[in-house]
């Protein structure tokens, strides 16, 4: 069963949410997921860009009430 | 083939330029791009050991905004870049000499040693060089 960790980075400015996501990914197993919440619009675009660049899997990218929720699955 | 290395020459002591250097360096490093930063000239003073944030940064309007809104600190970003990616930070030998400093005068856990300009420029031929 896929394990999902949540990171609430709301209130943090770019590149804070990205850095928190990356630190979180280092701590989970391949196949597990991280859900990061960010109120920073730049990060909402930067995070999917980073995911694509380094080769992880974007599971979900959803705009919520006042923040974005991005779910990434660790692929390597 | 690996990503093209990024070399950043940080000369300015302005908070905005130090912050931008830290942001570029850390994001590039965590994006699997090797980064080397060479700190020199007026930038050196910001890295003196023992300075608190209010004395470390001198800047303009955007500096004030970053401090007021608690934007990620440059030193914190550089530390994250080193921990999570391939980021090396060196201090210019000449700048240390002019100050009469050694590495011991600089903030802990950031610097990977002294570097001369000749070696830095030679290494930078293999990548992109940005001057701040």
| ipTM confidence score | 0.85
Residue B128 pairs in a beta bridge with B6
How does strand A33-38 pair with strand A68-73? antiparallel
State which residue of chain A sits closest to B30, comparing Cα positions: A22
**Does B97 lie at the interface with A, CB-CB under 8 angstroms?**
no
Residue B131 pairs in a beta bridge with B9
Q: Which domains does chain A have, with CATH numbers?
A: 4-73 (3.30.110.40)
Residue-level pLDDT, tens digit, chain B, 132 residues: 679 999 999 999 999 999 999 999 999 999 999 999 999 999 999 999 999 888 899 999 999 999 999 999 999 999 999 999 999 999 999 999 999 999 999 999 999 999 999 999 999 999 999 999
Residue B76, domain member (yes or no):
yes
Number of domains within chain B: 1
Q: Which of residues 9-68 of A touch B (CB under 8 A)?
A: 12-16, 18-19, 22-23, 26, 46, 50, 53-54
The domain that contains B17 carries what CATH number? 3.40.1260.10
Residue B1, domain member (yes or no):
no
Tell the residue number behind the tokens 């949540």, with chain if given: A6
pTM above 0.90, yes or no: yes
Residue B73, domain member (yes or no):
yes
């Amino acid at each position: 069963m896929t394990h999902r960790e949540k990171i609430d980075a709301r209130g943090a400015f770019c590149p804070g949410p990205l850095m928190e996501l990356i630190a979180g990914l280092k701590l989970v197993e391949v196949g597990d997921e991280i859900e990061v919440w960010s109120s920073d619009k730049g990060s909402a675009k930067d995070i999917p860009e980073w995911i694509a660049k380094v080769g992880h899997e974007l599971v979900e990218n959803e705009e919520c009430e006042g923040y974005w929720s991005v779910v990434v699955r660790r692929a390597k | 083939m690996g990503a093209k290395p990024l070399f950043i020459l940080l000369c300015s002591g302005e908070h905005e330029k130090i912050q931008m250097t830290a942001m570029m360096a850390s994001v590039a490093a965590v994006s699997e791009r090797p980064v080397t930063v060479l700190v020199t000239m007026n930038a050196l003073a910001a890295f003196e050991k023992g300075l608190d944030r209010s004395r470390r940064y001198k800047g303009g309007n955007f500096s004030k905004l970053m401090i007021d809104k608690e934007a990620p600190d440059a030193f914190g970003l550089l530390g994250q870049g080193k921990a999570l990616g391939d980021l090396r930070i060196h201090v210019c030998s000449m700048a240390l000499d002019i100050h009469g400093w050694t590495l011991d005068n600089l903030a802990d856990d950031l610097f990977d040693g002294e570097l001369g300009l000749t070696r830095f420029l030679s290494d930078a031929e293999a990548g992109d060089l940005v001057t701040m």
